Amino acid sequence: MTPKQIRAIPGWEDAADGEINNLFAVCAERWHRVGAMLIDGAKPAIGAMMIVSGELQTMFEVGNMALPIETLGVGDWVGTVSTFEDGAELFSVRAVTESRVLVLTREGLDRMKAQPSPTSLRIQRAIVKSMHSSLAKLAPLVSQVQRLNTEKRKHTKADLIALGFARLTQTAQIAASRDGPAGRGVELVQHDGVAIAATFRAMR
């Protein structure tokens, strides 16, 4: 990955070479095929991921149903929930197109917070922006769920469909399966950190 590619990302247009080198020093690059599951909502993500190219879809997966939340593009971040706080990510993330991401682990994030720099400021701003966008997307859904919960009747799948849930396709279900080939569509292109490499091996 080159500085020119980073400067093509919204929010990084005026980044100095030093800032980009700092970014490369704390992040690992990963490439994902179409349909690959980058994050399983039931598990913690391996780190926060900035989309460098391609499109990702975030969704809730419950049983054999999925609720698409938003389609994210270059410059957006995913995997921030479990990177900031222990626990599952909640939102599953799949590649809509062939995608390239930069992965920032929790250790990298803590290091950036402890040693504030223009790079960490840029990253924090982008993370807050992405989560703000997710919260805005969730607000109408939460509002509808609250309303449904106050209705004194038995809810059915039709209510879930009205909310935006759809049945997961068989391929997606196989990919979502805990024992399935999730992660096989992922290739490590380059890494600069032992921690990332170790996590990646564990996932394979």
Q: Count the residues of the shown chain that bind another protein, applying the rule CB under 8 A.
A: 49
Q: C-alpha 18: how far from its chain's center?
A: 26
> Near another protein by CB under 8 A, which window of 30-38, 78-86, 168-176, 182-190?
78-86
Which structure tokens are listed for 108?
Answer: 């990298």
Strands lying side by side in the sheet with 92-95: 37-39, 92-95, 56-62, 65-72, 166-167
Provide the greatest CA pair distance for the chain. 60
Select from 75, 80, 73 the least CA-distant residue to 57: 73
Q: Is 81 in the site for another protein (CB under 8 A)?
A: yes
Q: Does 63 bind another protein (CB under 8 A)?
A: yes
The stretch among 19-27, 140-148, 175-183, 188-196 that binds another protein (CB under 8 A) is 140-148
For another protein, which stretch binds (CB under 8 A), given 23-31, 62-70, 166-174, 183-191? 62-70
Residue 185, sorted as left (phi over 0), alpha (psi -120 to 50) or beta, turns out to be: alpha
Residues that bind another protein (CB under 8 A): 60, 62-63, 65, 67, 80-81, 84-85, 87, 90-91, 112-114, 116-118, 120-121, 124-125, 127-129, 131-132, 134-136, 138-149, 155-157, 159-160, 163, 165
